[in-house]
Structure 1
Amino acid sequence: MDNSTVAATAGTADVCVVIPTRNRPDLVLRAVSSALAQRLSPAEVLVVVDGPDEATETALAGVDDPRLRVLPLPRSGGAAGARNAGVRATGREWIAFLDDDDEWSVDKLERQFRHVRENGVEGPVVYATGVEWRTDDFTFHYPRRSPRPGERVADYLFVRAHPGEGMLAVPTLLLRRELALAHPIPEHLRTHEEYDWFLDLDRNGCSFSVALEPLTTVHAPAVRSSVSTDAGWQSSLAWALARRAELGERAFSSFCLTDVARSARRAGGPRLFAAVLGMAVTARPLPRDVARFLVIWFVPQELRWRLSNRRRRRVA
């Protein structure tokens, strides 16, 4: 990689921050503020309003900064469609994604571009950072490790020895616009479009590089409505079954016993318990994956968080 292409000029990077939003004017202002406040200034912050939303457009009109641009869409197409529209609408060399309910530390872009310069490899690359995941009661830092050389992205994300070991959070991502144009985020899926996108990128020779420092804050309150959280376990399982060959048996079973299980647990019942476990067993999961499934199903989420947080403090 030619490192001169990622060098900042006069404290500004040729990057467009794409923020999709709808009906959350207060939250998106926080996200926009964190993007505009970067020590390494983005050349453009592009808020894509996903469908008619007068309140959000009015709130953003009050931001007096020439770097901010608002792109209202005539109809809602979901977060993936809004992100893709933002990629098409800018001419900047780099794209950085940020969600409207999340925020960056002030040195996120500066440190991430330093990581790009120090870890550049041949071929297309998606760069990510660590995440500070904030719930109502706890704060966690993910992921625990970066992808290993040659590791399939499905194995990095789902074949875990520990919770949160591998993660690629969309509001941390940085990639070249030409890569985002060549491989847009799937817009037809109701859930897991980002996983589908990662599999597509991996299949086409893209690698993933993660700076573990938590430079992005993801807010995850207990009451949180989004497309992904509302889609239901059926959609998660249907996605996994459709992508089983690309996931591989280990990643498929792990996904069923964690991601599908977390969603299915809310519906509950012995039949559903047996169905999820039975589907995963067809891929011969490891005992640790089954044990994690049992914990997810029978131990309340708040207690799991408390135990995990206590264990992290002991390790630290």
Structure 2
Amino acid sequence: MLGQTHPVTEVHVVLNSETDVDLPSDPRVRLLRYLERRNGNAARMAGVRRCTGDLVAFLDDDDLWHPTKIERQVRDVAEAGLAGSSTWISSTKVVVDFAHGSETWPRAAYDPSRSLENNLLRRHRVQRGQAFLPSSTLLFPRSLPATVPLDEGLSLHQDLSWLLQLSRNVPGLVVRQLDDALTRYDAIGDGVSRSISLARELDWAREYLSSSTPRDRGDYYLGSVMTYARRQGTMSGMLGVFSEGLRVGRPGAAAVGYACGAVAAGVVKAVAAGVRQPRRGRTEPDEGAEVRQWARR
């Protein structure tokens, strides 16, 4: 954070443990430690409440910013005539690091003619990575989470849930997304999203998407929820998600195609497992295409 080309006036590091951390000796860096277990949103809101500046940006401890990220976002907001407004949020594209490669998400540019909710939930292509605005990409006025606070009791989809609440509760919200990937997202480690069970994912979707349009709700079920069902690895789970998605929503062709591909892959895997033992030392295929990289520091 301190290496940003845009001046950084304060950095609030919020920890959930007693673990020692190596922080730079800089008066701008302030440490807040919770001895009791708190979730990511509690940490983010604690940082927001301690901030004194006009703009806030989140950075998870396993993600990384390009040195020009904040400068580019601030300039883009100013050029869009939003500098004096309190109803905007800025994001960037993301280099997502997998064990066997990287991909740049989201694959499609943000469409300002549609709502933030619609951009987040609707699927226009079969491939993964269609809508992705993780918290480490965001820059916004400090007044925004004061108006619509992050849910500190939520244990999953914390950033997605907040963005949905902003879309539904902030009239005239403007979302800017830079086309360059100025954030790196670590999808290799055991992050919170990888620990989410299918049952918890379904509970979240039933609660948070009840007011979404049938198309958006159906696309999310057959896209994102299906991903959790596929990760769980049971045909009954995938078929159950497929059935519920069709019952509660009206998914588009891309989402149906993704779900059909997931179910077909599950069938092939089940058949293969029945006729041979898996070979040791087998590696997964490369996860992504080549993307323009920038070095970790």
Q: Same fold (TM over 0.5)?
A: yes
Gaps of 5+ in 1: 1-34
Aligned residue in 2 for 1:100: 61
Query: Cα distance 1:76–1:120, how it changes in 2: closer, same or farther (>3 A)?
Result: farther
Residue 98 of structure 2 is aligned with which of 132, 135, 144?
135
SS at match of 1:264: helix
Alpha-carbon distance in 1 for matches of 2:69, 2:254: 35
Taking a change above 3 Å as real, the CA distance of residues 80 and 131 of structure 1, as seen in their structure-2 partners, is same
Equivalent in the alignment of 1:181: 146
User: Equivalent residue for 1:22?
Assistant: none
Q: Deviations over 1:135-156 (max 9, x none)?
A: 1211111123443234122220
* 2:147 paired with 1:190: no
Give the conservation status (yes or no) of the 8 Å contact 2:92–2:182.
yes
Name 1:66's counterpart in structure 2.
27
Which of 224, 240, 254 is the matching residue for 1:288? 254
Choose which of 51, 75, 91 in structure 1 pairs with 2:52. Answer: 91
* Distance in 2 (alpha carbons) for counterparts of 1:284 and 1:172: 30
Pairing 1:207–2:207 present:
no
Moved more, 186-195 or 87-96: 186-195
Cα deviations across residues 12-35 of structure 1 (Å, max 9, x unaligned)?
xxxxxxxxxxxxxxxxxxxxxxx1
Q: Structure 2: which amino acid aligns with 1:212?
A: D
Aligned positions, number: 269
SS in 1 for 2:210: helix
* Partner-residue secondary structure (3-state), 2:10: strand
Q: Counterparts of 1:123 and 1:140 in 2: how far apart (Å)?
A: 32
CA contact (8 A) 1:144 1:212 kept: no
**Alignment correspondent of 2:77:** 116
**What's the CA shift for 1:302?**
4.4
Give the distance between the partners of 1:152 and 1:69, measured in 2 at CA: 36
Please state how far the C-alpha of 1:284 moved relative to its aligned partner. 2.6
Amino acid at match of 1:259: S
* Higher-helix-fraction structure: 1
* Long gaps (5+) in structure 2: 270-282, 293-297
Code of the residue aligned with 2:39 in structure 1: it is: G
**Alpha-carbon separation, structure 2, partners of 1:290 and 1:146:** 21
Q: State the percentage of identical aligned residues.
A: 29
2:223 to 258, 283, 286: 258
- What root-mean-square deviation, in Å, do the aligned CA atoms of Structure 1 and Structure 2 show? 2.2
1:245 CA drift (Å): 3.1
| Per-residue deviation, 1:207 | 2.6
